[in-house]
Chain A
Amino acid sequence: MIRKLTGLSLVAGALFLGACHEDGTLNPPDAPIAGDAMVRYVAMGNSITAGFQSAGILDSTQKQSYAYLIAHAAGTEYYYQSLRYRGCAPPFTNNVTQTRYTLPGFPASTASTCDLATASEKPWLSNTAVPGARMIEATNNFDSTGAVATSASNTLTGIILGGATQADRMEEAHPTLVTAWFGNNDVLGALTNSANPGNPILVTPLAKFQAGTDALFDRLEATGADVLIIGVANVTVIPYGTSGQVIFCAKNPGVGGCPGTPGTSALPALFTVDPNCAVAAILVPWSKYVPMIGAAAAGAAQLLDCSVDTVVSSAAETGGMMTAVTQYNSYLSTQAAARGFAFWDPNPTLQNLINTGAVPVFPNLSALGTGGSVTFGNYFSLDGVHPSALAHRLIADSVAANLNAAFGTTIPVPVAP
């Protein structure tokens, strides 16, 4: 019996030892290589931050956004509202014919095509940016104040934010670092207004811009996160609007102080430019004069008359937009400093691209005769407004360098090999 008991004890002991159960473990994300400040990175903003290009946005362009590039270079979690299939709206594949990206089995895309978002569960939104958002839309989707009593909320406001505001989603993320780039649309809407380019009533009044800024900055400050404010880009120098002076000279080289040799213009003979256009501050949207050039090439005489306000942004209107940009940036930088936020003005970088010719002052029309697109150099997409993938890399490098300098992060620069 003693032997039996010994055997029983051994069996019991073996069972005891064999019954130890291994604990499961948490599987947290890897710590960002760029430092703790990048643990929860949130990018707020408008179309540029969202990844809008060529008058459209879809998952592939969302992944070209500077915010995406920074997050991935920093090795941090990044969640965005991926737009499925063709996007919302699908980007141009040809900006002259207005043809947009499509997929096999899908009908032709239009400017109102929206294939909604991919339903993938996200613990938070890292990129809250909404194309079209002005400063006030950072905290309010239903603004109806000011001379133009309309909200800039749009289909993407709903799809990206699901009924919340950008500030709401930012707070839900419990961010450790936020970049916020608003204000471009507070002037861009005036420039791109088809009925009256440069329409001053569409420039957000400074007081309203300041109120929107204060509302956003209060929310940002309350999070305790590191914050980088990105200044408003000078939309009057982007390729969307071409200087009347430049157009006049392209048509009339060697005339009226224009460089070049008379009679060597590449523009069609039936396309003429009124001398009233020969003013640097007059801006003509490419979407206004390029079709005229096309029509002239096809045999229909066209005159660009820069006294027609529905066609151009007058010098006064352009000056108003430039003043607004200056005032916005002055307020942003002052308030950022007062609250301990970092500030980066993108305009020197943009101006440098113009000065070096990387962003041409006159678009490339060489493909126009063969049904191709008008292009604006390598740094702007086919709408002449939004940065290209290459420009996003440049922006990402600059933003990352500023973050590293301001907050001690170690984001690799350049952010993309």
Chain B
Amino acid sequence: MRRFLVWLAAGALVGAVAPTGLAAQGYGIYEHGTCMMGRAGAGIASPCADGSAIFYNPAGITGTGKGILSAGVTYIGPSGDFTNDVTGVTTESEPLKFFVPHLYWTRDLDQKYSVGLGVFAPYGLTTEWDENTFEGRFLGYHSEIQSIYIQPTFAIRVSDKFRIGGGFDYTIVKVALHQRADLYSTTLSAGVTGGNLGFAPGTDFADIKLEGDGTGVGFNVGAIWQAARNVSVGLKYLSQQEVYVNKADADITQINTGIILPAGHPLLIQLGLPAGTPLDAILAPRFTGTGALVDQTGSTKLTFPSQLVFGLAVDATPKIKVLADVQWVNWAKFETLALQFERLPQKIIVENYENTIGVRVGGEYAINTNYTARLGYLSHGAAAPDQTVTPNLPEGPRNEFTAGLGASLGQKLHLDLAYQYIDQADRRGRTTDGGMAEPTTAVNNGLYTFSAHLIGATFTYKF
């Protein structure tokens, strides 16, 4: 047990610092076990025997005997870009490589009761763009959400045909939003923005890094019913969490514009300054003393929506298993992201996400007693509505294809490998709010593309 706790602590630590990629709707992630990944995540009616049922369906941890410990990692290599309609300029997102670990331990207490503990991250995102050149940097050039769910789990074999399980989720969340401030859209005096004074769009004058953390609680429950000898049905519900991020640090740095104001500039006239005065000298007081752009604290609230998944598993032959899941996610709860600061005015980012349906279909073929091949396909709609496709999360409907292989490495050790390709439909979106409190699709100014390759590996040890 002591060794297990060391493993768990290590896993949680790695998970807390490793950014996570996008592999489900919105900022959801669904790759929490390599065996399930090979099936495109399908199989809540018949979870894999690697402990990942703690996430996929807690009822599925029953029957693990003296215990299972599995540890694995998923490599995520996303790539994407944005192309502006008018300029035709394409900007690629920064190349990222994520290694997302997962860790599960389960065991039967007796024939009826089982327990387990899992660490996984069903919500998270990282998007990264060039902070100096990407036109959308004023909405965000680095956006990051890390959620580490720690879930003690308990399951009951109610009968030979019916199992239930559930767990309490304690969630540790880290959030970061880095963005530039554009002088063009900044109010410089009553009713006058930098744009009114002629400063061009894309005039960086401040860098704002907001970073903070918080915690949340929730639960994860599921049930499995053996409807027939070779047919099982599953249902799983992951509760919504609202995580309050208080006293986040907002580090604000002045960016020199290098602009020297020529004779007659309205700012010089207003302030009684001579021609040749550097604009940066005029702006500098905003970053010191009682200025609004000094380092300060901020707060926000994140919503991790509830999920309901229904699944069907059929043992078509002794060697072939077919699985299909339908996943509903209550993304409509993500309506706004409100950022509140000590000195800067409150900013409410309207999101108005929409509920999504995802369909996962997978299959397994037992090649022999030592090897199992897996295939899968999943498809889901977009959570972000057409007017909310931004650099922070240029999300869209996706088709995803998976393949996997399970191999026994002896009587107690098992290895699963899987590959997944994510093909997101090219999505029209925007890099600006167009000066609107609630931007519409009229602001959309280009096309986002996204795809990703994922490779997973999990070792499972049976005690």
Name A's B-contacting residues (CB within 8 A): 1, 4-5, 8-9, 11-12, 15-16, 19-29, 77, 81, 84, 114, 116-125, 141-142, 150-151, 153-164, 169
A339 to chain B, nearest CB (A): 27
Contact B265 A77 (CB under 8 A): no
Residues of A within 8 A of B312 (CB): 8
| Cα separation A114 to B324 with both chains bound (whole Å) | 67
Of residues 413 through 439 on chain B, the ones whose CB sits less than 8 Å from some CB of chain A are 425-428, 432, 434-435
User: Among A1, A4, A159, which residue has its beta carbon within 8 angstroms of that of B198?
Assistant: A159
Contact B399 A153 (CB under 8 A): no
| Cα separation A98 to B394 with both chains bound (whole Å) | 55
Residues of B within 8 A of A20 (CB): 379, 399
Contact A158 B265 (CB under 8 A): yes
Residues of A within 8 A of B197 (CB): 116-117, 158-159, 162
In the complex, whether B359 has a CB less than 8 A from a CB of chain A is: yes
In the complex, whether B367 has a CB less than 8 A from a CB of chain A is: no
In the complex, whether B236 has a CB less than 8 A from a CB of chain A is: no
| Contact status of A163 and B260, CB under 8 A, knowing A21-B425, A28-B85 | yes
Between-chain CB contacts (< 8 Å), 11 pairs: A4-B314, A5-B314, A19-B359, A22-B425, A114-B266, A118-B195, A119-B184, A121-B434, A125-B200, A141-B262, A156-B264
Contact A26 B314 (CB under 8 A): no
Indicate with 1 or 0, residue by residue over B266-287, a CB within 8 angstroms of chain A CB atoms.
1101000001100100000000
Contact A26 B83 (CB under 8 A): yes
Residues of A within 8 A of B290 (CB): none
- Among A16, A121, A123, A156, max chain B CB count under 10 A is at A121
| Cα separation A156 to B398 with both chains bound (whole Å) | 49
Indicate with 1 or 0, residue by residue over B376-388, a CB within 8 angstroms of chain A CB atoms.
0101110000000
Of residues 166 through 208 on chain B, the ones whose CB sits less than 8 Å from some CB of chain A are 184-185, 192-201, 203
User: Among B86, B269, B428, which residue has its beta carbon within 8 angstroms of that of A28?
Assistant: B86
Contact A29 B86 (CB under 8 A): yes
Contact B86 A116 (CB under 8 A): no
Contact B196 A116 (CB under 8 A): yes
Residues of A within 8 A of B264 (CB): 153-158
Q: Nearest 8 pairs between A and B by C-beta? A: A119-B195, A19-B379, A163-B259, A158-B265, A153-B262, A21-B425, A21-B397, A159-B198
Residues of B within 8 A of A81 (CB): 198
- Among B266, B312, B399, max chain A CB count under 10 A is at B266
Contact B185 A119 (CB under 8 A): yes
Nearest opposing residue in chain B for A39, CB measure:
B88
| Cα separation A19 to B435 with both chains bound (whole Å) | 35
Contact B201 A122 (CB under 8 A): yes
Contact A164 B86 (CB under 8 A): no
Nearest opposing residue in chain B for A88, CB measure:
B266
User: Among B200, B269, B379, B434, which residue has its beta carbon within 8 angstroms of that of A162?
Assistant: B200
Contact B361 A155 (CB under 8 A): no
B270 to chain A, nearest CB (A): 11
Of residues 10 through 62 on chain B, the ones whose CB sits less than 8 Å from some CB of chain A are none
Contact A160 B262 (CB under 8 A): no
- Tally inter-chain residue pairs, CB-CB below 8 A: 153
Nearest opposing residue in chain B for A157, CB measure:
B262
| Cα separation A163 to B277 with both chains bound (whole Å) | 11
Name B's A-contacting residues (CB within 8 A): 83-88, 184-185, 192-201, 203, 228, 230-231, 257, 259-267, 269, 275-276, 279, 312, 314, 316, 322, 324, 359, 361, 377, 379-381, 396-399, 425-428, 432, 434-435, 446-447
User: Among B86, B231, B279, B380, which residue has its beta carbon within 8 angstroms of that of A4?
Assistant: B231
| Contact status of A151 and B262, CB under 8 A, knowing A20-B399, A119-B184 | yes
Residues of B within 8 A of A12 (CB): 322, 324, 361
Contact B428 A142 (CB under 8 A): no
A169 to chain B, nearest CB (A): 8
User: Among B266, B361, B428, B435, which residue has its beta carbon within 8 angstroms of that of A24?
Assistant: B428
Nearest opposing residue in chain A for B425, CB measure:
A21
Residues of B within 8 A of A119 (CB): 184-185, 193-196, 435
| Cα separation A121 to B432 with both chains bound (whole Å) | 9
| Cα separation A84 to B191 with both chains bound (whole Å) | 13
A96 to chain B, nearest CB (A): 27
Residues of A within 8 A of B398 (CB): 21
User: Among B196, B231, B377, which residue has its beta carbon within 8 angstroms of that of A118?
Assistant: B196
- Among A29, A119, A124, A162, max chain B CB count under 10 A is at A162
Contact A142 B196 (CB under 8 A): no
| Contact status of A164 and B196, CB under 8 A, knowing A24-B447, A27-B85 | no
A99 to chain B, nearest CB (A): 23
Nearest opposing residue in chain B for A150, CB measure:
B263
A35 to chain B, nearest CB (A): 18
Residues of B within 8 A of A26 (CB): 83, 85, 446-447
Contact A162 B203 (CB under 8 A): yes
Contact B399 A162 (CB under 8 A): no
A170 to chain B, nearest CB (A): 13
Contact A155 B266 (CB under 8 A): yes
| Cα separation A20 to B261 with both chains bound (whole Å) | 54
| Contact status of A16 and B377, CB under 8 A, knowing A5-B316, A26-B85, A121-B434 | yes
Contact A158 B261 (CB under 8 A): yes
Contact A16 B425 (CB under 8 A): no
14 extra interface residue pairs, beta carbon distance < 8 Å, beyond A116-B198, A155-B266, A162-B194: A16-B377, A20-B399, A23-B426, A25-B428, A25-B447, A119-B184, A119-B196, A158-B261, A158-B264, A159-B197, A159-B265, A163-B199, A163-B257, A163-B279
Contact B263 A161 (CB under 8 A): no
| Cα separation A12 to B425 with both chains bound (whole Å) | 21
Contact B427 A24 (CB under 8 A): yes
Residues of A within 8 A of B316 (CB): 5
Residues of B within 8 A of A164 (CB): 200, 259
User: Among A116, A153, A154, which residue has its beta carbon within 8 angstroms of that of B192?
Assistant: A116
- Among B192, B200, B316, B425, max chain A CB count under 10 A is at B200
Residues of A within 8 A of B260 (CB): 141-142, 163
| Cα separation A123 to B425 with both chains bound (whole Å) | 26
| Cα separation A11 to B428 with both chains bound (whole Å) | 31
Contact A5 B322 (CB under 8 A): yes
Residues of A within 8 A of B231 (CB): 4
| Cα separation A161 to B279 with both chains bound (whole Å) | 14
| Cα separation A150 to B274 with both chains bound (whole Å) | 13
| Cα separation A202 to B304 with both chains bound (whole Å) | 70
Nearest opposing residue in chain B for A164, CB measure:
B200
Residues of A within 8 A of B276 (CB): 142
Nearest opposing residue in chain A for B317, CB measure:
A5
Contact B426 A155 (CB under 8 A): no
| Contact status of A155 and B265, CB under 8 A, knowing A24-B447, A161-B198 | yes
Contact B399 A11 (CB under 8 A): no
Contact A21 B184 (CB under 8 A): no
Nearest opposing residue in chain A for B257, CB measure:
A163
| Cα separation A77 to B326 with both chains bound (whole Å) | 47
Residues of A within 8 A of B396 (CB): 21, 24
Nearest opposing residue in chain B for A165, CB measure:
B262
B342 to chain A, nearest CB (A): 27
Contact A16 B314 (CB under 8 A): no
